Structure 1
Amino acid sequence: MSTKTHNNFTGIFCDHGPKAWQTHTHGALINKRLAVKDVFAVKGERNSAGNPNWFKAAKPAQQTASAVNKLMNEGCSFTGFTHTDELAYSLEGNNIHYGAAQNPKLSGHASGGSSMGSAAAVAANLADIGLGTDTGGSIRIPASYCGLFGIRPSHNVIEKDGLIPLAPPFDTIGWLTQSAELLSDVGNVLLPNQAINNVDTLVICEPLFELVSPALQTPIKQLLEKTKPYFKHHKEFELPNSNLLSELADSFRILQGRAIAKTHKDWLQLPGQLPQFAPAIAARFKMALALTAQEEQEALKVQTQWQTLITKNLNTKSCLFLPTTPTTAPKLGTNTSALRMQIITLSAIAGLSRSAQVHLPLANLENGHPYGFSLMMSHGNDKSLLACVQQLAAHFKQDTPA
């Protein structure tokens, strides 16, 4: 594979795969341009998963992933495969083999990963729908950085056939759009039938606001105050002790790492065929392979605590307000190793509890950087969450001066 660009946007579209491909000329998503992360199978095509070694060894897919099929059956036009961080094991949005997808909404800054190409394609108006995956934040972080709506659905509510996995206990299929309405329309195609409840309670966990950078603490609290009036009830998230927050990132890192090791161990340890990775991703794989069963058991205890907490604090009519990311998009080339664990502290709440989370790009920062917040609902309430997000976005739009 070469690093040749598509539409002159480096790091967004792959060279391989179909372009302007359409199978149906009618449907709920007629002519919506679909950009697909290069981890989804398309019959007769190969995937790189962001790594040339993987692409070289890959065989053409026998079947198209059902998530892609469902969207194509509703009239989407397949714009192209999009670049991802290697094996989707990064939140940065930078691939040493194929380039970094520069943030279309903030020149010189990162798009975030690992669904960087899908996010950048939508943010640059090269696609209407960016299909991707979210294991540790790979939809939510690009959504925050690029000013998009993005959903990480409840775990396992969407079939994952034809998907190159990262860590199956946490992998989800998500998508990014410019509007809450289209985000919901895609959900009507991909999500199973679910009851749609009127979400009337906003749950607030004050300690989470301390996890964002000082410059964003006032804006995130202002967003909360602007959001509150649209909910009939407000209640505090009961956090037994602050240590649970400090344990989030490491527990997720361990559980994700153990799952990655189990999934990719054979490929990573092929004699004489060690794939070339970016240094940070190589270090992550090395760490994952070294994790122990004992560490996994301790991390599982933290996960169980969070699942219990979410069950106690959220129901079918309530959602949690939380920051999506601790910062706006970093500049390209910035060392984000410390930022990664700060991000995961926020993103791991949904991952560990198998919950649905949507980023809403509704901040209006003075410096023009895209930013917003998330709403999260407990497992299986995806359509209620999407309906709530759509209504809230409409209210925000009405309240914004022209």
Structure 2
Amino acid sequence: MPTEDPFRCFVPYPDAPVKNAAFGPLAGLTLAVKDLFDVKGYPTGAGSPTVLAQSGIKTRTAPIVKTLLDAGARFVGKTHTDELAFSLNGKNAHFGAPINPSAPDRITGGSSSGSMAAVAGRLADIALGSDTGGSVRAPASYGGLFGIRPSHGRLSLKHVWPLAESLDTPGWFARDGETFARVAEVVFGRDRITLPEMPRMLLADDMFSQAVPDAENILRNVVQRIVPALGQPESIKVARDLDGLYWAFRWVQGREAWIADGPMIERFAPPLGPGVAERFAFSKSVTDAEYAKAETVRKSFRAKLARWLGRDGVLILPTVPDIAPLVSAQEPELDDFRNRALRLLCLAGLSGFPQVTIPVAQREGAPLGLSLIGPKGSDKSLIAFAVKFERAARIRIA
């Protein structure tokens, strides 16, 4: 862990040696790792005192972490996560909240809160997070970073604390497109679908209307800035029933979260923090009928999005409805914002398609991201286009 941690990114574990290759494509880059991923020589706490108490020191490193170490990245510490990764706020009732280096009066977002803060605060060049319902994408938008939720199942989650099996993915943060793309070259093999140099762009008109009016106007203007270089996107409406998609996502996430953590919660009755306790209570209540209905909705939406995107399409949408909420916001306000955000974030989760968020704008001095969703398996070429898109927009966070 760095000797200085002004943004409270890192879990204060005793330092243990973590080997990395002396040479490789990521040599010279520092790596922070969310405390859901096992790292040999460290415990894995998952943002929970109960999980931490039972963890012990891990004897193996998660494959995704080892891949980065073997490529030359140098480990600098494990980062804070929201409790059991079941939050989008970045606040942990037991271990506190990291500070958002890009907007200190606003939340980091979660659950990959410490990983975002470490990269935005220049304490690490890259950081691993996980994304189930937006836990990389939302913090990346709030911190002015590149972030990705890869195609579901493309990267290993072995030796990683789960939340919802059919939604969980690893992901990572970087401050610049070049570094972001270097990681993609290391972790991904060949794309199953390779997007063309100039993909067919689809603007999700109904998703833009989910943003607050000021954020919507800013992001629509960003899209217009890329037209001279990349062309005019076609406007489409993604969801006839966005509430239906939202509830399908909630039911899938809830049922699977209870499968993952319910036995531990019922056995040890840990004192869960605000918001987390209510979400697990909801998770326990999800019925078989709701889960079955959610699976039907998910299958239908996945097929519909696959038809739209084909092998050459990219969907453009806001990452989240607005800049990060204020640190002073109370739980009901944060929960309302979370529910609004999930209506945007659930599309990639339900489909399993890759989504990249890019730093393109700011409002009231705080970062605001824009997202691209590509066909499943197009991750590397989607990142390449995202970097090109960000350069064309040229509204960068200072």
- Match of residue 339, structure 1, among 337, 340, 354: 337
> SS state of the match for residue 26, structure 1?
coil
Give CA deviations for 1:150-171 in whole Å, capped at 9, x if unaligned: 0110000001111111101000
Contact 1:148 1:177 (8 Å CA) reproduced: yes
Matches of 1:29 and 1:227, distance apart in 2: 30
Partner in structure 2 of residue 225 of structure 1:
224
Contact 1:17 1:81 (8 Å CA) reproduced: no
Partner in structure 2 of residue 381 of structure 1:
378
Give CA deviations for 1:175-231 in whole Å, capped at 9, x if unaligned: 000011111110111112225432421111211111011221210110121233443
Structure 2: runs of 5 or more not aligned: none
Partner in structure 1 of residue 369 of structure 2:
372
- Match of residue 308, structure 2, among 305, 313, 329: 313
Contact 1:6 1:12 (8 Å CA) reproduced: no
Contact 1:201 1:233 (8 Å CA) reproduced: no
Partner in structure 2 of residue 197 of structure 1:
195
Contact 2:7 2:117 (8 Å CA) reproduced: no
> SS state of the match for residue 127, structure 2?
strand
Matches of 1:359 and 1:164, distance apart in 2: 24
Give CA deviations for 1:233-284 in whole Å, capped at 9, x if unaligned: 6333354x63x212222211111000111122211110xx211211210111
Matches of 1:130 and 1:85, distance apart in 2: 16
Contact 2:142 2:369 (8 Å CA) reproduced: no
- Match of residue 67, structure 1, among 40, 61, 64: 64
Alignment of 1:211-360 (within 5 A): 211-232=210-231, 234-239=233-238, 242=240, 244-270=241-267, 273-335=268-330, 336-360=334-358
Matches of 1:107 and 1:233, distance apart in 2: 36
What percentage of residue pairs aligned between the two structures are identical? 34
Contact 2:226 2:392 (8 Å CA) reproduced: no
Change (3 A) 1:334 1:64: same
Greater displacement, 353-362 / 261-270: 261-270
Change (3 A) 1:154 1:298: same
Partner in structure 1 of residue 111 of structure 2:
114
Matches of 1:10 and 1:138, distance apart in 2: 18
Matches of 2:14 and 2:304, distance apart in 1: 44
Matches of 1:343 and 1:6, distance apart in 2: 35
Compute the TM-score of the two structures, normalised by the length of structure 1: 0.93
Question: Offset at 1:20?
Answer: 7.6
Matches of 1:371 and 1:298, distance apart in 2: 34
Matches of 1:386 and 1:165, distance apart in 2: 25
Matches of 1:17 and 1:161, distance apart in 2: 24
Structure 1: runs of 5 or more not aligned: none
Question: Offset at 1:30?
Answer: 0.6
- Match of residue 149, structure 1, among 141, 146, 153: 146
- Match of residue 363, structure 1, among 331, 355, 361: 361
Alignment of 1:49-64 (within 5 A): 49-64=46-61
> SS state of the match for residue 263, structure 1?
helix
Partner in structure 2 of residue 29 of structure 1:
26
Matches of 2:148 and 2:18, distance apart in 1: 25
Give CA deviations for 1:70-99 in whole Å, capped at 9, x if unaligned: 100111111100000001000000111111
> SS state of the match for residue 279, structure 1?
coil
Residue 21 of structure 2 aligns with an amino acid whose one-letter code is H
- Match of residue 124, structure 1, among 101, 109, 121: 121
Change (3 A) 1:64 1:5: closer
Matches of 1:19 and 1:45, distance apart in 2: 7
- Match of residue 76, structure 1, among 65, 73, 78: 73
Residue 146 of structure 1 aligns with an amino acid whose one-letter code is G
Compute the TM-score of the two structures, normalised by the length of structure 2: 0.94
Residue 289 of structure 1 aligns with an amino acid whose one-letter code is K
Residue 312 of structure 1 aligns with an amino acid whose one-letter code is R
Residue 389 of structure 2 aligns with an amino acid whose one-letter code is L
- 1:93 aligned to 2:86? no
Matches of 2:36 and 2:278, distance apart in 1: 22
Aligned-pair Cα RMSD in Å: 2.0
Change (3 A) 1:144 1:20: farther
Matches of 2:92 and 2:386, distance apart in 1: 32
Question: Offset at 1:21?
Answer: 4.1
- Match of residue 38, structure 2, among 32, 41, 45: 41
Change (3 A) 1:259 1:340: same
Matches of 1:363 and 1:323, distance apart in 2: 11
Contact 1:202 1:228 (8 Å CA) reproduced: no
- 1:167 aligned to 2:164? yes
Contact 1:118 1:132 (8 Å CA) reproduced: yes
Matches of 2:243 and 2:229, distance apart in 1: 31
Give CA deviations for 1:88-143 in whole Å, capped at 9, x if unaligned: 00000011111111110112211100000000000000000010000000000000
Residue 136 of structure 1 aligns with an amino acid whose one-letter code is G
Matches of 2:17 and 2:225, distance apart in 1: 41
Residue 214 of structure 2 aligns with an amino acid whose one-letter code is A
Contact 1:258 1:291 (8 Å CA) reproduced: yes
Alignment of 1:177-188 (within 5 A): 177-188=174-185
Matches of 1:43 and 1:21, distance apart in 2: 7
